[in-house]
């Protein structure tokens, strides 16, 4: 397991009531059976909306999550590179709040 994936797992597990799972065969964390973060291509992926979505997407190297690689990105999901691991915990907290409806 890479250091980025270890970081992802620690961040996800630290979110209240988060449960580990799978999203498109990739490791993820869910709240109330709904995924809010996952790990893909050495990046952490976050389900975000509004300003948080725009800010995450503006990070260098960030992009919309396209798990199939066929040009069909998931519009609410932003893939943030490992270069921004310091920002992953805050983004995970925002994604957790968004998906949990808080």
Number of domains in the chain: 1
Whole-angstrom distance, CA of residue 7 vs CA of residue 66: 22
Q: DSSP class of residue 67?
A: T
Whole-angstrom distance, CA of residue 76 vs CA of residue 43: 16
pTM over 0.85: yes
- The CATH number for 31's domain is 3.90.1150
- For 18, the domain range is 3-100
pLDDT digits (tens, 9 = 90+) for 53-63: 999 999 999 99
- Per DSSP (E only), the strands in 3-97 are 19-23, 26-31, 34-40, 43-47, 63-65, 74-81
pLDDT digits (tens, 9 = 90+) for 15-43: 999 999 999 889 999 999 999 999 999 99
């Amino acid at each position: 397991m890479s250091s980025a994936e270890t970081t992802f797992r620690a961040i996800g597990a630290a979110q209240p009531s988060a449960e580990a799972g799978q999203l498109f065969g990739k490791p993820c964390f869910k709240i109330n059976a709904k995924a809010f973060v996952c790990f893909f291509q050495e990046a952490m992926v976050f389900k975000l909306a509004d300003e948080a979505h725009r800010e995450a997407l503006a990070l260098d190297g960030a992009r919309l999550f396209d798990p199939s690689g066929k040009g069909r990105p998931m519009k609410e999901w932003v893939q943030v590179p490992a270069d921004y691991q310091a920002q992953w915990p805050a983004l995970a907290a925002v994604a957790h709040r968004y998906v949990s409806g808080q």
